[in-house]
Amino acid sequence: MSAPPRLRKAIVAVHVVSSVGWLGSVCAYLALDVAAVTSRDIQLVRSAYVAMELIAYSAIVPLALATVVIGLLTAWSTPWGVLRHYWVIAKLLLTLLATAVLLVETQTIGALADAALATRDPRELAGTLPHSIGGLIVLLTATVLSIFKPKGTTRYGWRKQQEQRRASAGAWRPTTS
């Protein structure tokens, strides 16, 4: 299924904006995470954990969910399709994995923010740095796949291409005079 060009461009634009927003909010979260685990200033550490929770719930989670939904709409509305190219499947799996890990990790983020406010010295809290860095790497990988679109169609994609070629060849008939 391919959407009309204007609708397709609008869907792609919304997908790019939500994906870039997700990437940017993860970068902001990572900066706070680094500050939380490296700073010696108790107030800064406490504030960083509270801000991390705010960014996670107010920006990262909504943008991640939007990226998944709009990404599927984008794939369905463009010639790339969902199951036609390996890079689209890889990007979808990376996005679903990142979103699932994020949704599980929000419990830890909330617990860290609560602990930072409840304890006298929040500098002993563990932080979420491995997840922050891993999430950023996954999102950057998905971005690179979107830009470079490595070649390689799935069997399904190859069959669809052959069907389209046969249909377009059948539509062309030489005229006889």
- For residue 168 the two structure tokens come to 């377009």
Angle, vertex CA 126, rays to CA 61 and CA 44, nearest 5:
80
**Residue 149 forms part of a structural domain:** yes
22 falls within a domain? yes
Domain-located, residue 93: yes
Integer CA distances (angstroms), 88 to 30, 95, 104, 146, in order: 27, 10, 24, 8
Question: Is the model's pLDDT at 5 over the cut of 90?
Answer: no
Domain that holds residue 117: 5-169
Residue 175 lies in a domain: no
Answer whether residue 176 is part of any domain: no
pTM equals 0.86
pLDDT tens-digit map of 24-72: 999 999 999 999 999 999 999 999 999 999 999 999 999 999 999 999 9
29 within domain boundaries: yes
The answer to whether residue 79 sits within a structural domain is yes
Q: Pick the closest to residue 140 from 9, 18, 20 (CA basis).
A: 20
Q: How many domains does the chain divide into?
A: 1
